[in-house]
Structures are given as C-alpha cells and as structure tokens.
Chains A and B, each alone.
Chain A
C-alpha cells in the first residue's frame, strides 16, 4: 500500500513539474507533437540555398496545411523565382504509413505522383528531400531516450527515432533533440545506415498563437556540404481552410 502511495506521489510530482513519466521517449515526442497540434497552418516560405562557396539560389513558396501531423494535407506553391511560379506539391500525410505526394508542373499542365522510392530526391535543388517535406507522426517511429544535451545553449532531450516497418523512409534512423522547456524541436540529424546525411536545425523559436514555433529551419546536406535555410514568414495557425482545397483538382488551380 505504501509503495502504491509512493509511486502515485512520484507520478503526480513529475506531472506537476512538467516531466513525462519516467522520461519515456515516446511520451516526450507525443507531448511535443500534441503541443503543435493546430487545425491548420499557413506561411510564406523564403528558401535560400547555399553551397560551400555561398548563396546560389533563392526560392519562395506559400504553404497551406489542413490538420496536423499524420492527419494532414498540405499544398506548397512556388511564387519565385519567376520560372518556377505555379509549381505546386500536394502532400497527404497518414498516421500509419508514408505520405502520398503529387507535383503539379504548369509548363506541361500535368500532375505527377512522387513515388515512394523517389522521396530521397532533393526537392527542386534544395537540401530538403521530398520525404523531409512530409509531416512526422509520433506513431510512425520507435524511440529510445539517449539522455540530455545542450543545443545552442538550451537543454534538450536527445532521442533516437527509428522508422517502423510500415513507414518507408530513406533514413535508417534519426536523432531528435527536443527542448525541455518548451517541447519544441531543436534539431534532427538523419542517418543512412551509420552515416549522418542530413541535419535540420530549428531556430528563432517564438510563441505564435500558443504554439512554440521555429521560424527558421536550416537543412544541411552533410554529404554534399550544402545547406538550405527556410524562413517562415507571415505564419498563422488555425486559419479557416476547406478540405476540397487539398485535392488533385485543387492542385491544378493557380
């Protein structure tokens, strides 16, 4: 009886100070995901691609997402440079498997499905692959808590995530750093076999409509030595959006 009371007190105490029970890795990721839930998200993205020598390309897109994480649909449309204006990507994320993706190319007036085996390709010459553009869902990975580390002066949980068999991924595993204070993502380092191939760093964190959000994401391709910085401008959550605006028919509309 005393043991039960002691255990209950311990759990209550941990909950009171905001720690997940037993620092369980999955619980941390689930909480991080829960805190970013929104009915929708909209932003204007500014992409800057850098190679080893300096900046080589600027791109801009608008991004609309309905739902969150594994239950979401998103459309990304390029607005600059002029030659790729109108190119659009529809991403339909699922909780139990990899997303479905289609790309609309206005020059040929056709959409093309991005096959699963093609997801490791760089998206329009940036350092983001098609897979990196899909929403991660807590249920698609297995987790192991590897301890705590500081990322840019902030204490984070370091968690290893391994994709489940149902989740087709180019990465064999990822290391995820989650800020202890806000549960916001700080960094994701993705591996192919034992080699780190991409590192995504989240910075310029701000509380937007109650959600701690990184307004700058930088993806480094560790093999090529290039990096792409994505700055989220005019970010809004819970904007009214309709389901019919996230279909293949809607993708064709300019």
Chain B
C-alpha cells in the first residue's frame, strides 16, 4: 500500500513539476484511397485497374524539453496482391509485399544542448538534390510501383552535434532495411523477351547481417551550404543473382545486397537568379555483383511568383563494371535531363508538371498532376504519367506502364 502511494505521489509530483507545462502531444494522419488505371496491357500482367488503400497515423509525445517519443503505424490494402495479408504487426519492412499492418516509425529523441540523439525506427535523409540524391544511403524506398516510391524508415541510432554553423552527424544501423522492388510477375518487372521458355521464380533475398555506419559533416554558411559524407554498409537496392534450377526447370532469382562504401558531397549555393545545387557520390564495392561508379547531379531551382521551377542533369561514370543485373532506379535515372514545375493556384489548388528525358533519347517520362483540397480535411489528386522509349532503357522498358491515378485523402 505504501509502495502504491509512493508511486502515485511520484506520478503526481512529475505531473505537477514545472516542466510539465512543456509537455506536448501531437499527431497527424490520413486515410487514403487511390485508383490506378493502365490503358495498356503488360506482357506479364494483364491487370489494368488497381485499387490501393492506406491508413497512416503518427503521434509525437514530448514529456519534457529534452525527450521526445515518436510512433507511427500504417494499415494497408491493395487489390493487386501488393499487400501481404497476414495479420501481424511488421517492424522489419523486409518483405517483398507491403505489410498489412506495420510500424512506420518508433523512436526516442534525446536533446542536450547542441547534441541530439535519435534511437529507433526513423527516417534519415542525406543530401540536397531532388532529382536523384546520390548520398542518401540510409533511405530505402518502396519501389513496388517504380514511379511512386515512398521512403521506408531504418532502425538505428543517429547522433547529431551542432557546433555553430557546422553539424557532425553519425549514424549506426545494426539491422539492414532493403528497398522494396517490383513484384516478379507484375507490370513493373519487365523481363527480357527471351525468358519466356524457362519460368522465373523468386528465390527470396540474402540479407546482410552486419551493421551500417555513416558520418556526415555539414556547414551552413551565408552564401554556401555544403556537406561531406561517408557511408560503410550495404546497397539497399539489390543485385539480382540468377541461378538455373534443373528440376523443375527454372531460373531462380535471388536478391543480394552488396557491401558498399560511399564517399560523397553535396552543396547548395543561392545566387542572384537561382539556387544551384550539386551532389555527388563515389560508390565502391568488393562484390562481384556490384559496379564501382560515380553518380552526380547538378540542378538549379527558382521560385517565381507562384511557380517553382527545378531542372538539372543526373550523370553517372562507371569506373568498374561487374554487375550483370541490378535494380537501381537512382542509376537508371542517371544520364538524364530532369525538370519539374509546380504552380500554386490558390491555397487549395496546385498543379505539377514533371519530366525526365534520357540523354540518348531512349526513355522519356512525363507527369501532370492536379490537386485540390476541400474543406479542412479532404484532398483529391489526379495525375497522368506517360512513359515512352526503348525496351533496353531503364525508363523506356516501362513504356506499357503509362497510367492515370486518382487519389482521395482525408487528413486528420
């Protein structure tokens, strides 16, 4: 009884302590339904209409000034088997399908003076450019529908120390989180024409067991922002190993995530006319399934009235080619000119135009989107994406995947 009384007294004392007034609880979330319409039939996937549903809820609790808890979950549904229907709470985000119910984030943040430590499942974004972000190594994505790829959180610890205009950031993730790639027999996996005789089977993934580390040092100056970054870990976009099987005859495809080291840098410089952004990363690997390559992006950005313009070039230099097959949208979008323009019509309505054109003209992607909010909670977005090109080009291979989408979202 005395013990219970003591606990109650402690709780009461905590609740009425001076810092109790600093407690904050906030949340954000939405329900979303999307309809995808594909005018063309894909060779391996005859589905032309797909429905997708998502409920996302995130909450943040700050009991005191130096401590914050963040948690979030997602509940998903899909008419085209993109969701694993098993009833379980998924934390690892390693499945080929999206989980039915998953932990989107679960982290705790400690702050002490200029030091901030985040521990748990969280989003870590590096880099400055928007077209392709070569240094963004702790940011796996969900590429089930390649052109609409959301980020997936990683589990680890991030420490950031801000010293005046400089910030030193160190990241350690003990458990690897991969990007989710298109399902084998769906339209976003385009198989070579000569694979029709022997069936292809998904042989799963070999996940690396080691941890990943990274350090980023950034500087924010009056006329220049820049950062240098080092990453030692694994590529979250897999190499594909094909192994023939005799009985029954098949080719087994295994996803392998090669160990890589990356040295990168990014910079942003506002000038009188536009903001110039540049980012580069040199990626090396000792794996026979991975190339050594340099990825770079140069882009300019300009806001004029209600228009935001962004345009640039993403390039790649392969210094050692070894990989027979990979799924790498960042490299697939390289050697491309990319542009984006968005216009805010009024507080509730906006339009976006986006395009990517391969330097050799073998692939083109264009998107037009209109979005309108209704009241305080509803938003409807209609988009049309057109993809054209040659079968041997990363963009061009999806030429039968031009589509329209209508998305209805209720935010709360």
Contact = CB atoms under 8 A, between A and B. Distances in A.
A249 B160 contact: yes
Interface stretch (A21-29, A49-57, A144-152, A212-220): A49-57
Contact of B344 (A58, A81, A122, A253): A122
Given A83-B379, A109-B123, A115 B26 contact: no
A122 B68 contact: no
A85 B377 CA distance: 11
B220 interface: yes
B272 interface: yes
Interface in A139-197: none
A83 to B, nearest CB: 4
Interface in B271-312: 272-275, 301-303, 305-306, 308
B409 A100 contact: no
A121 B306 contact: yes
Given A83-B411, A118-B303, A126-B347, A248 B167 contact: yes
A254 B303 contact: no
Contact of B303 (A58, A109, A115, A248): A115
Interface stretch (B109-117, B207-215, B314-322): B109-117
B347 A57 contact: yes
A117 B272 CA distance: 7
B30 A125 contact: no
Contact of B301 (A57, A82, A115, A125): A115
A222 interface: no
B274 A249 contact: no
A233 to B, nearest CB: 16
Given A109-B125, A253-B111, A82 B225 contact: no
Contacts of B272: 117
A61 to B, nearest CB: 13
Main secondary structure of the interface of A (DSSP, over half): mixed
A57 B151 CA distance: 30
B21 to A, nearest CB: 10
Contacts of A124: 347
A116 interface: yes
Contact of A117 (B26, B30, B114, B302): B302
Main secondary structure of the interface of B (DSSP, over half): strand
A110 B30 contact: no
B342 to A, nearest CB: 11
Interface in B353-412: 373, 376-377, 379, 409, 411-412
B28 interface: yes
B28 A85 contact: yes
A70 interface: no
A121 B305 contact: yes
B36 interface: no
A90 to B, nearest CB: 11
Contacts of B26: 79, 85-86, 254
B348 interface: yes
A23 B59 CA distance: 54
Contacts of B167: 248-249
Interface string A71-110: 0000000011111011000000000010010000010111
A247 interface: yes
